[in-house]
Amino acid sequence: MPEHEVSVPSGGPQKKMISRYADTVGDGSGTVNFNGDYSSAAEEAILMAGTGEDYVISRLIVSVYDTKTFTAQIYASIGVLGNGIEVKHIAANGTTVLNDLTDSEPITINAEWGMMCYDVDVKSWGAGNEMLLARWTFAKAGQDGINLSEGESIRVFMSDNLSGLLNHRFMFQGYHSTLTD
């Protein structure tokens, strides 16, 4: 059996899993908490397939954490976002949109995460602290997920003031399409 391959009950190898926060660089080395003021300089949370890598991204877990109560009609507890958040699959050239996952409809309020991915939950831990968790399962769209070839990326675009948030992260999960564990 090859070095990174393991036997599983089904008898086949398992692909090497990916569980990584999108960051400002795209390779896991940048900032992962997107709670800044992006109203004058837009920011991108990036997951990029590196040199020689090919990914299948099965889902995105969005987590938004704040000290105030969340309602459906605002984003976290900071208000309606003027520009909103967009999620796009981008070609290796860094500019060509291969797939606009939010279909030109930016997410401006909490409820809109549910419109995109259905699975949304708000958790409360007392003292007013709340967390919105959204699970966007791309694999539920009829295939294993979004294929990212070398240099391609999934990017979360933000251009609003999100500095009122304690935490704002985007965790991508899936597997390497060529590597096995």
Give the end-to-end CA distance of the chain in Å, rounded to a whole number: 11
Give the pLDDT confidence of 110-127 residue by residue, as tens digits. 999 999 888 999 888 777
Q: How far apart are the C-alpha atoms of 169 and 30, rounded to whole Å?
A: 12
What per-residue confidence (pLDDT) applies to 13? 74
Examine the pLDDT at 8 and tell me if it is beyond 80.
Answer: no
Q: Which residue has the tokens 């597997």?
A: 175
Give the pLDDT confidence of 73-111 residue by residue, as tens digits. 999 989 999 999 999 999 999 899 999 999 999 999 999
Alpha carbon distances (Å) from 42 to 21, 45, 98, 99: 19, 10, 20, 20
Give the pLDDT confidence of 19-65 residue by residue, as tens digits. 999 999 999 999 999 999 999 999 999 999 999 999 999 999 999 99
Pick the closest to residue 110 from 79, 148, 82 (CA basis). 79
What per-residue confidence (pLDDT) applies to 6? 42
Percent of the chain residues topping a pLDDT of 90: 71
What per-residue confidence (pLDDT) applies to 1? 44
Give me the chain's average pLDDT, please: 89
Percent of the chain residues topping a pLDDT of 70: 92
What per-residue confidence (pLDDT) applies to 7? 43
